[in-house]
Structure 1
Amino acid sequence: MSDNVRTYTSKERNMYLLGLAGQNMIYNIIGTGLYFYFQSVIFVPAMAISIFMAVARVWDAINDPMMGTIVDKTNTKWGKCRPYLLFIPPVVLVITILTFCNGIYSSSNSNLQNVFIIGWAAVSYILWGMIYTVGDIPLWGVTSRMTEVEKDRASILSLARIAAGLGGGVVLLSITPLSQFVGQKLEGVAGSTAKSQQYGFIIVAAVLTIIGCGLFQLTGIFVRERVQSEDRKLTFKDNIRIMWGNKPFRKQLISGVLRSPIQMLLSVAMTLMSYYYGNYFGDYMLYMIILGGGIFGGQFIAMALVPKLMEKFEKTKLFIGSTIMGAIPFALIYPIYKIAPQDLDKPFWIAVLLVVFTLAGAGMGALNVLQSVMIAD
């Protein structure tokens, strides 16, 4: 390649992918771990969780273009995106850990105590989402400034999805089993099972967050912006108008909001599975690794197959099919339980659940790829 062509080095690419893996570790610490923590460790009422998570999703639809406008107006010696990648990871680290620092909701508490517990859960979760977005928009946006070669940009974005899946998968498979393992070791120190489980979760979440943010920080340190942006400056109103005027993007946005319950089903399903296997069977970690591995494996199988499927089928049809495929498996969990409530540890039913969770993961993995491609189109 000519020396005049401005593009990233292999070292930059690798550091960017490591950073993206770390950032997605943090995302799953909240997306998977925090939901379980709220519902099954500190017992925040499910209705309250549903309400403030729905509010957060709506706010995200406003916050994302707002952050895009801020990045667009940023001009520093480091570039537009890189300043955020340098300075946001430590802030994300702090707020991520703080979301787990809460009391335990209980009928023995005063009403005011429980209100504060729910209030901090809601405020910290929404605040985390805002701060995470401050790093997320520049992290994905910087790829257009790392290279002027379209092929290189497409290559790093395709690798980025794999890196993101790996980072998120590590947390998906490990955070709950490790937290419960550490919690069991702390029972003699904490004074109660509830407190020991809470401390176990806080410790594991903190360790994973430190690792994730450390990797995330690599992007700010090693990535360079080579491509200058156009002089045209867009206001927040301009971004909203362009975004809403883009019919395919508008459909994607609405679809994302409508599909948010499906994303929550993953956390609910893992919570139910962990409760069931944790209370009725001994090898809890083994079952969670098997079922979590199904989700993880399904995502990667789908991400590998979708590019081939797009050559034969319309993206819209694939998108609809993937949405259905991601939802139906979770709907099957309750009927499966009703059919064999005492036998879900048997090899046959473990195999059935593995298939169900693999299909659910495949649906989510396919949607991740299709959403990116359709927005890019």
Structure 2
Amino acid sequence: MDNKLFRTSGIERWGFGLFMAGQSVINTFAGSFLPLFLTNIGITAYAVGVLFLFARVWDAVNDPIFGAILDRTNLKSGKFLPFLRAANVMLPVTVVLMFAIPSGIATGWKILWAFVSYLLFDIAYTMCDVPIFAMTSAVTDQVHERINIMSRNTVLSTLTAIVVAVAGPGLYSSLGPLPTAVILSIVAAFLMFFMSRYAKERYVNKDEEEVTLKSMLNYVKSNKYLRIGFLGIMILSVTSMTNAVITYFAVNCLGNLGMVSVLSLFIALPSLVMGVLMPVLTRKFDKFHLLMVGIIGQTVMSVVCFLAGYENQVLFFILLGVRGIFFGIQLILQLQFTGDFVEYGEFVTGKRLQGTAYSIQTFVFKFMNAVPGAVAMFILGAFGFVSGEGAVQPPSAINAIWVLFILSPVIGALISLPIFAKYKLRDKMVQIMAAANSGDITREEAQEQLAGKL
């Protein structure tokens, strides 16, 4: 991409990536080790599942409210930046609280502590996640610049996820859950600082008209591609339980918690490579077409891995790495459509409700991350999973872990593909809308270029 088309500075783009890397440190550690920590201190798998599921009900209220707050906010210091600065502190603190549950207190108090700390973590994550993604459509109106920013974000966040996945089991085993949480939270806070310090908002909704619940609902009703896109992504991902059971698969199927590091490398390294290649690929191919390649490829390789089994570990890891290529394509591109929804929404409604669009994205992705965890715990509980550190699992639970780890993504793919077939928005069309929204061309010129395509 020609540097003359960049609206952002180099330090801004790196700040984006480092912020996402900081988020990734926390998200990887909490997502991988929180279920294991909670079951190890004696909380049942069913109780952990209920905790995660209830948190998603809270999200259903929390995220839209926060989206409305963002769309109504126009402070001197910015629309999104004040929340990013607050989350820079709150997110690391709350993840420490989640891993600070004393092992000696009664189980009921453990559950209450886990419940309260997880909800606080969820609020902090919303304050962090909605604004950082909304900033991608606030700093630039160039579609390929957003792809460049998001690809850099993916590379750095994947790299830090790999580091945490590799180092995490060793730190967790040698230092314990709480010291590990403290160390990683300090690292995350440092990485997240640069974005809130150097970013600049350029394209935001500054209408004096108040954003009401009715206007938000009308915006969503009018934005058909927002509905189609998020529905397809959500269905695709809520049924994928690979990450939810990765620690259990390492311990109970491969026989060693340290295998989490190896599994994470074979899953994440291909994503890192695809993150580097994605800006090049999206110059030649539309990102929606690439997403379809990722979905279909991951589905095929999941079935191949399942049929091959994991007894031959060399073959298993080779196949897992190939599947990781398609997973990487899918993972990177899922986050790159919301800016398109913002441009389309402004084009058809006249309102640039970034807070609304990105609060829906945050809800969808938190739903995607937590619901698989809740459902996986329910399923494991139904198949006889035994809580407690060092517990021996029955064959039924081990088989359930294997199926959830490798085969669960297939279900979502089969359901989501017919939904994605209705998605007609393409990169060239979005750039035309963005040009009209920013005043570079007239709406009439844009409508003429888009005639018959939407």
Normalization by structure 1: what TM-score? 0.75
Q: Using the TM superposition, name which of 125-134 and 168-177 deviates more.
A: 168-177
Give 1:103 deviation, angstroms: 3.7
Give the structure 1 partner of residue 88 of structure 2.
Answer: 89
* Structure 1 position 212, deviation (Å): 0.7
Quote how far apart the aligned CAs of 1:139 are.
0.9
Structure 1 residue 301 displacement after superposition:
4.2
Secondary structure at the counterpart of residue 73 of structure 2: coil
In the TM superposition, 1:229-308 aligns within 5 A as 229-231=205-207, 233-275=210-252, 277=254, 285=258, 287-303=259-275, 307=281
Superposition map of 1:147-186 within 5 A: 147-182=140-175
Distance 1:44 1:322, change over 3 A: farther
Using the TM superposition, give the Cα deviation of residue 372 of structure 1 relative to its aligned residue in structure 2, in angstroms: 2.9
Aligned residue for 1:191? none
Q: Quick check: 2:32–2:246 contact (8 Å CA) kept in 1?
A: no
Matched length: 336
Which residue is equivalent to 2:71?
72
Q: 2:299 aligns with which of 318, 324, 335?
A: 324
Shift of 1:54: 2.7
Amino acid in structure 1 at the alignment position of 2:266: G
Corresponding letter in the other structure for 1:336: G
What aligned pairs does 1:31-110 form with structure 2 within 5 A after superposition? 31-39=31-39, 41-104=40-103
Deviations 1:204-229 (A, max 9, x none): 12101110122112211121223453
Change (3 A) 1:138 1:329: farther
Distance 1:168 1:367, change over 3 A: same
CA distance in structure 1 between the partners assigned to 2:116 and 2:285 by the alignment = 41
Deviation at 1:132, TM superposition (A): 0.5
Task: Say if 1:5 and 1:148, in contact at 8 Å, map to a contact too.
Answer: no
In the alignment, which residue of structure 2 is the partner of 1:19? Answer: 19
**Does the residue aligned with 2:114 lie in a helix, a strand or coil?**
helix
Distance 2:180 2:122 in 1: 20
Q: Tell me: CA distance 1:359–1:87, structure 2 relative to 1, closer, same or farther (3 Å).
A: same
Within 1, Cα distance between the matches of 2:156 and 2:6?
Answer: 24
Q: Secondary structure at the match of 2:8?
A: coil
Deviation at 1:142, TM superposition (A): 1.6
Matched residues in 1 for 2:309 and 2:152: separation? 36
Amino acid at match of 1:266: N
1:114–1:260 distance in 2 versus 1, CA, 3 Å: farther
Per the normalisation by structure 2, the TM-score is: 0.64
- Quote the Cα distance in structure 2 between the aligned partners of 1:313 and 1:149: 17
Residues 346-374 of structure 1 deviation map (CA, whole Å, 9 limit, x = unaligned): xxx22133135435544542222332344
1:117 corresponding residue in structure 2: 110
How far is the alpha carbon of 1:80 from its aligned partner? 0.6
Distance in 1 (alpha carbons) for counterparts of 2:34 and 2:200: 33
- Matched ranges for 1:126-141 at <5 A: 126-141=119-134
Give, in whole Å, the separation in 2 of the partners of 1:27 and 1:124.
15
Match of 2:328 among 359, 365, 376: 365
Structure 2 CA distance for partners of 1:56 and 1:16, relative to 1, 3 Å: same
| Equivalence for 1:146 | 139
Which gives a bigger RCO, structure 1 or 2 (Cα 8 Å, sep 6+)? 2
Structure 1 residue 263 displacement after superposition:
4.5
Find the partner of 1:202 among 178, 183, 195.
178
Shift of 1:268: 0.9
- Root-mean-square deviation over aligned CA pairs: 3.6
Letter in 2 for 1:206: V
In structure 1, give the amino acid aligned to 2:244.
S
Once the two structures are superposed, residues 266-299 of structure 1 have per-residue CA deviations (whole angstroms, 9 ceiling, x without a partner) of 23133231355556xxxx63x3332221011132
Q: Measure, in 2, the Cα distance between the counterparts of 1:62 and 1:163.
A: 31
Judged with a 3 Å threshold, the aligned counterparts in structure 2 of structure 1 residues 203 and 326 are, in CA distance, closer, same or farther, namely farther
C-alpha displacement of 1:262:
4.1
2-structure distance, mates of 1:295, 1:81: 32
* Contact 2:21–2:188, Cα closer than 8 Å, also in 1: yes
Query: Letter of the aligned partner of 1:33 in structure 2?
Result: F
Structure 2 residue runs without a partner (length 5+): 341-424, 426-454
Question: Which piece of structure 1 moves more, 352-361 or 218-227?
Answer: 352-361
**What percentage of aligned pairs have identical amino acids?**
25
Letter in 1 for 2:30: I
1:75-95 deviation line (CA, Å, top 9, x unaligned): 222111111122221111111
SS in 2 for 1:71: helix
CA contact (8 A) 2:152 2:275 kept: no
**Cα separation, partners in 2 of 1:262 and 1:5, compared to 1, 3 Å:** closer
Deviation sequence 1:149-199 (CA, Å, 0-9, x none): 5543342233222222223232222212321133xxxxxxxxxxxxxxxxx
CA change 1:318–1:5 in 2 (3 A) is: closer
Instruction: Identify which range, 245-254 or 265-274, moves more after superposition.
Output: 245-254
Distance apart, 1:59 and its partner CA: 3.8
- 8 Å Cα contact 1:322-1:366 kept in structure 2: no
Cα 1:226–1:269 change in 2 (3 A) is closer
CA distance in 2, matches of 1:100, 1:20: 22
Change (3 A) 1:238 1:363: farther
Q: Aligned to 1:142, what secondary structure does the other structure show? A: helix
